[in-house]
Amino acid sequence: MKRFLVPLLFCSGLATAAPVEQLASDVEGDVIQWRRHFHEHAELSNREFKTAKYISEYLQALGLQVQTGVAKTGVVAVLDSGRPGPTVALRADMDGLPVVESADLPFASKVKATYGGKEVGVMHACGHDTHMAMLMGAAKVLVESKSQLRGKVKFIFQPAEEGAPIGERGGAEVMVEEGVMKGVDVVFGLHISSKEDVNTVGYRSGGIMAAVDPWKIIVKGKQAHGAYPWSSVDPVVTSAQIVMGLQTIVSRELKLLTNAAVVTVGSINGGNRTNIIPNEVEMTGTVRSLDPVMRANILEAIRRKATSIAESMNAEVEISLPWGQSYPVTYNDPALMDEMMPSLVTSAGADNVRLQKAQTGAEDFSFFQKEVPGLFLFVGGKPLDLPADQAPEHHTPEFAIDEDGLKLGVKLFSNLTLDYMQNHKR
């Protein structure tokens, strides 16, 4: 069993806490090793059993109150200062992706697992290994800074951010349903970015990542021989017209000066022979939006266009919207963002705090932000000598980050917590 040694002097709160900068430097080597361990032993969504065990053993060694099995494999720990004050939640996600790693690393993942009934490689291709390691480092820094705390810190290690397997539920939404945010006043989350310079922090007030609404449309027609199309109600041609109609929602119905939006058709399937017009065609896709009104308009327009086009072709449609789990907008509370800007500057330096554009990617951290004000920030992980257009994308076999940026994540988690508590004494 892995043993984690924690200085008892600090745990007792008897010593004067060292500055965050020094404490983060002291734990940096451990953070890198933890990240490499998680990377080498990646696990899929809702299957993070070994990951959870490793994390929980460490948090218990720190003397924290630890709860396991939250939302199936999640881990939640509480650090109680013993003094009145707010409860600050800090979140890291735990799951890897069904991706075969191609990066030449001594700690590259060789893990195999089953996903969708097929054997797949498993890789931390989005940086969740770094998120866990940074939060573990922050837990140690905050334990050693206990004399400065006012209130409680809740460390949330969340499973299934990438989405639970088909037929299952998971992630932040389930954690909220199970009461993880009960008594919490504010929540902070970080995400590594392979495209942003190492040792920088990216921020944005308001919507920083998009809402996501998956959808499925089944177009039902009438089967016929391909040589006699007049005998059919052709779902293939109808589907083609629906695809083109959906593309006009963003380009012709939305005021894009307000915010960005995306309607994507991701798959289309129907038929099995060249000379048979099938009975039906199934298509699936996703909607991404950063504005609640625009989101509602898009969802209405998908139903309207698909139904109207099908009727014009004598076909029928069955629309599932949303189809599967939807995420709300990841929304950074503007007042909280203004309040915590000094913490970003303290952690990264003024020149390394960078306003960034909103992204059409999605994050289920947004479920925590629906409960309490929260901030979601980006930590740069791109080597300075690597052009951004050459940096590997997230969710790809080539994904890699510069580990020099992990210390900044530890400082951000720690300073955000300490500063918020100082600003909200009770």
Chain position carrying tokens 């199936």? 72
Q: Which of 40, 253, 282, 403 is catalytic?
A: 403
Of 54, 327, 331, 420, catalytic: 327
Distance (Å, whole) CA 95 – CA 178 = 19
Between strands 201-203 and 374-382, the pairing is: antiparallel
Cβ-based neighbours of 418, under 8 Å, separated by 6 or more: 20, 142, 145, 148, 149
In angstroms, rounded to a whole number, what is the distance separating the alpha carbons of residues 141 and 368? 24
Q: How far is the C-alpha of 188 from the C-alpha of 186, rounded, in Å? A: 7
Determine phi and psi for 60, rounding to 5 degrees. Answer: -65, -40
Q: Is 403 a catalytic residue?
A: yes
Taking the mean position of all CA atoms in its chain, how far away is CA 161?
Answer: 5
From the list 19, 143, 150, the residue with the least C-alpha distance to 88 is: 150
DSSP conformation letters of 240-303: HHHHHHHHHIIIIIS-TTT--EEEEEEEEE--SSTTEE-SEEEEEEEEEESSHHHHHHHHHHHH
Residues 98, 113: contact at Cβ < 8 Å?
yes
| The pairing of beta strand 201-203 with beta strand 353-355 | parallel
User: Among 412, 402, 408, 403, which residue's Cα sits nearest to residue 195?
Assistant: 402
How many CB atoms lie under 10 A from the CB of residue 292?
Answer: 14
Phi-psi region of 395 (alpha: psi -120 to 50; beta: other; left: phi over 0): left
C-alpha to C-alpha distance for 298 and 108, rounded to whole angstroms: 41
> Dmax over Cα atoms in the chain, in whole Å?
87
Buried-state track 25-56, b at ≥16 Cβ within 10 A, e below 16 = eebbebbbebbbbbbbbbbbbbbbeebbebbb
Residue numbers annotated as active site: 327, 403
